[in-house]
Amino acid sequence: MNDTHHSKPIAVLWERVVAGDTSAAFLEAQGIEVRLGRPNLDPAYRTHRAQDFIEDLQGAHGVLISGGIRVSADVIHALPDLRVISKIGIGVDTVDIDAATAADIAVCNTPHGNDTVYVAEHAMTLLLALMKQLHVWTRPYMTGGGWRSPATFASSLDERTVGIVGFGRIGREFARRLSGWNVRILVHDPYADDVPAGVERVSLEELLASSDAISLHCPPLPDGSPLLDASALARLRKGALLVNTARAALVDRQALLAALDAGQIAGAAIDVFDPEPPASNDPLLTHPKILSTPHVASWTHEAFFGRRRQAAENLAHVLLGRTGASVVNANRLKMHDRKA
C-alpha cells in the first residue's frame, strides 16, 4: 500500500471543479489533502479512461466522482489505499458495489435535496412537450417558414393512461404531478410495497399494453440487459410515447429506432445516453420523432452545488471517522467509518 503514514487523508476530486464549487475548500478546512483529477488538469479531457483514473488515485484514500467514470472491480483492485468512493447523485450503478464492499470501501451517494422533484418535473415537461409536438414546432421550423398544418396535430393528456416503471422517490413525485390531469396512472415496481389512491399497480406486460405514455424511473437491470428490448417495445400500445430520464441501458436503442420508424411508437423523449455526451450524428439526437435533452433532468443551480457539497461531506465523514455519511453499503462493511 502507498502513503500508509501520510499525515493527512487524501481525497481526489476527479470531477471538474467549477467556480462556486466549495467542495475543495470544505475538505481542506476539515484537514484533508485535496488533489485534482485529470479532468481538472486537462480542459479537453472527456474520455474518462480507467487507467487515467487509477493513476490519478494512487495513494488516495477517497475520491469524489459523478457518472463519467465506471469504477469496476479491476479499478478497485488497483487502488489498495482507497477507503471511500463518494458519488455525486443518487444512482451508484457505475460503481461495482460488491467489489467495493469486499475491499472494505464505503460507497456514498447524495439522496438528499430536491433532485427527485427536479427529475419528476423534467419528465413531466418532456411528456407534455412530446404531446404538444414541441420537438416538431421548433424555432428553426418557424424561421424556415413552417407553420401549423394538418400534417401534424398536438395531443392531450386528458383521459389518457400513463404508465410509470419504477415507483421510488422520483416515480412517486412524477405520479403526484400527474394527479389532477384526469389521467389513469399505472405503476410497475416489484419492490413498491404501497401505492397511493388513484394509482394502479400492474404487471409490466399490462402496463406496456395499456399505456398511452410510459415514463421510466427505475435502475438498470442487474445483468445490464435492456428492460425495453424489441419484444417489450412490440407489446406497447401502438402510437405510445416513451420518456426516459433514468438510464440509457433500460432501452435497446436499435429496437427503439426501429419502433419509431415503424410507427409502433409515436415519439420518445430522452435525457440519458451511453456514451455521454453522444456523437453529434447519433440517431437519438437526429431522429425526427425524438426529443433529446443533455442529461439535465436535475441540472439546477441548487442541485448541482448541493450535490457536490453533500458528496464532499460524505467524504469527510468517512475519512475522519464521523457518522452522518450516506453509505449505500454500510450494513455490509466491516469498518467503513475508520480513519484513513
Per-residue pLDDT tens over the stretch 67-99: 889 999 999 999 999 999 999 988 898 999 999
CATH number of the domain located at residue range(s) 10-113+300-332 in this protein: 3.40.50.720
pLDDT, position 44: 84
pLDDT, position 6: 59
Residue ranges covered by each domain of the chain:
10-113+300-332, 136-288
Which of 35, 295, 309, 338 is the catalytic position? 295
Question: Given pLDDT bands bounded at 50, 70 and 90, which one contains residue 300?
Answer: very high
pLDDT, position 118: 93
pLDDT, position 340: 40
- Report yes or no: 313 and 291 within 8 Å, Cβ to Cβ: no
pLDDT, position 16: 87
Q: Does pLDDT of 338 surpass 50?
A: no
- 276 part of the active site: yes
CATH of 136-288, one of 3.40.50.720, 1.10.760.10, 3.20.20.70, 3.50.50.60: 3.40.50.720
**How is the beta sheet containing 290-292 ordered, strand by strand?**
199-201, 184-188, 161-165, 213-216, 240-244, 265-270, 290-292
**Would the CATH topology of 10-113+300-332 be identical to that of 136-288?**
yes
What is the rounded average pLDDT of the residues 205-222?
A: 96
Which of 82, 84, 88, 76 is closest to 106 using CA atoms?
84
- 295 part of the active site: yes
DSSP string, 13-25: E-SPP-TT--HHH
Question: Given pLDDT bands bounded at 50, 70 and 90, which one contains residue 3?
Answer: very low
pLDDT, position 337: 44
For residues 270 and 224, which has the higher predicted lDDT (pLDDT)? 270
Q: Does pLDDT of 111 surpass 90?
A: no
Question: Given pLDDT bands bounded at 50, 70 and 90, which one contains residue 4?
Answer: very low
- Specify the residue for cell string 422533484: 117
> What are the CA-CA distances from residue 295 to residues 247, 299, 331 (Å)?
10, 8, 31
- Report yes or no: 318 and 310 within 8 Å, Cβ to Cβ: no
Percent of the chain residues past pLDDT 90, beyond the cut: 83
pLDDT, position 290: 98
Question: Given pLDDT bands bounded at 50, 70 and 90, which one contains residue 156?
Answer: very high
pLDDT, position 115: 84
For residues 267 and 46, which has the higher predicted lDDT (pLDDT)? 267
What is the rounded average pLDDT of the residues 279-293?
A: 96
Cβ neighbours of residue 39 closer than 8 Å, sequence gap 6 or more: 14, 15, 16, 45, 48, 68
Lowest mean per-residue pLDDT among 91-95, 173-177, 180-184: 91-95
Which of 83, 217, 237, 247 is the catalytic position? 247
For residues 66 and 156, which has the higher predicted lDDT (pLDDT)? 156
For residues 312 and 112, which has the higher predicted lDDT (pLDDT)? 312
The gap between the terminal CA atoms of the chain, to the nearest Å, is: 12
Whole-number Å distance between alpha carbons of 210 and 242: 13
Question: Per-residue pLDDT tens for 242-285?
Answer: 999 999 999 999 999 999 999 999 999 999 999 888 999 999 99
What is the rounded average pLDDT of the residues 158-169?
A: 97
